[in-house]
Chains A and B, each alone.
Chain A
Amino acid sequence: MTAPQKQPRDAAHWARYVEALEVPDGNTGPNVEGRRVVGPLQGFGKMWQKTYRTRIEGASPAEVVGAWRERFPELSGFGEDGFRVPAGGLVPGAVALLGGLSGVMVLYSDEESFTYMTPEGHPFSGWITFSAYADEDGVTTAQAHLLIRANDPLYELMMPLGLHKIEDRTWQRTLKNVAAHFGTNGEVETRVVCVDPKRQWRRYENIRYNALILSVLHAITAPLRWIGRQATSFKPRT
């Protein structure tokens, strides 16, 4: 009989493997339910590494990340409707919905960082990690770090047409809000690196899950579904 392997200390911080995501709490999330998670290797577009940092005095890394995780909808600016935290909170494996469009899964969470991973159909395939660490002078640096590709050709087209800027502004705003929460008004340093300028053309088929396209199609075909429901519920008098 072999002895069980000793679990490393990060074991409880990682999500368990799931074949497909489930939307929690009876919510509706057609662009999340049944989707697989995707990392930066599964996307279509160029791979980008984006890092946003700000310094926060008077709070430890654990305090910063604790508040960030607890108040994520507020501090990110998405609000409670824009980012729906599941009932159990942002724990490893939890699925949060992003408005009606898509969602994210909590891939990893510990005292000083948490990471989201995106599903098929989301604008990006990849990870975003929110973390904090103490610098050599003892001051805490809060950081949002993205490693992403545009998920499909349509999103890749949108990158230079505004998607890059939206992403930058979202996380710069988030870091300012986190800093303000602790009474600091620091500058946000932004660093963007194109890690891989090659597009993965073989991933063009990712477009079949594009959440924007599917949402528009769903809205356009709503009248047809209404007619279908009326037709099936119609019972002629006998």
Chain B
Amino acid sequence: MPQAQVTMDVRKVSDNVSVIDVKGEMTAFAEGVLMDAYAQASDGRVRAIVLNFGGLEYMNSSGIGLLVTLLIRVNREKQRLLTYGLSEHYQNIFQITRLDDAIGIYESEDEAVRAGTA
């Protein structure tokens, strides 16, 4: 299977919120990287996972599917999934795929982290 063309670095910004900085391409091949990042970002006390899409270069429909499976995992742990850094193009993608029904979209990291802490 082709290699993932994405990196995901995890930052703990507070006791309750972790940020995953996504850089590169979200395709089906990013699954392992994404789930590893989530495992690293999530511990017993984290209540919100924030995805920073400022470094997103490319996403296809399989990449969107990964976000759904991530969302299910997050909800199972009674956590919330939030995002920021989405370009107008990717905000439109979230709208047409109706991911914006369930994943919060924010303008900045501060806003997303505040929403995650609330």
A residues contacting B by CB (< 8 A) are 5, 7-11, 13-18, 37-42, 47, 49, 107-108, 110, 113, 115, 117, 127, 129, 131, 133-136, 145, 147, 195-196
Contacts and interface: CB of A to CB of B under 8 A. Distances in A.
A108 B27 CA distance: 13
Contacts, number: 83
Given A17-B92, A195-B72, A10 B58 contact: yes
B61 A107 contact: yes
B58 A133 contact: no
13 contacts: A8-B89, A9-B58, A10-B59, A16-B92, A17-B95, A41-B68, A107-B61, A108-B60, A113-B60, A127-B65, A133-B1, A145-B65, A147-B69
A8 B72 contact: no
Interface stretch (B13-21, B42-50, B97-105, B110-118): B97-105
A41 B89 contact: no
A140 to B, nearest CB: 12
> SS class of chain B's interface: helix, strand, loop or mixed?
helix
- What 4 A-B pairs have minimum CB-CB distances, sorted nearest first? A115-B61, A108-B61, A17-B96, A39-B98
B57 interface: yes
Nearest to A11: B89
Contacts of A7: 89
Contact of B61 (A127, A195, A196): A127
Interface residues of B, number: 30
Interface of B: 1-2, 28, 56-62, 64-65, 68-69, 71-72, 76, 87-90, 92-93, 95-99, 101-102
B61 A113 contact: yes
A167 to B, nearest CB: 17
Given A8-B59, A131-B28, A135-B1, 19 more contacts: A5-B89, A9-B57, A16-B96, A37-B96, A39-B97, A41-B98, A41-B99, A47-B72, A107-B96, A107-B97, A113-B61, A113-B62, A127-B61, A127-B97, A129-B61, A134-B2, A136-B1, A145-B65, A147-B65
A14 B99 CA distance: 15
A195 B69 CA distance: 7
Q: Which residue, B58, B61, B95, B101, has most C-beta atoms of chain A within 10 A?
A: B61
A42 B98 contact: yes
Contacts of A37: 96, 98
B102 A41 contact: yes
Contacts of A145: 28, 62, 65
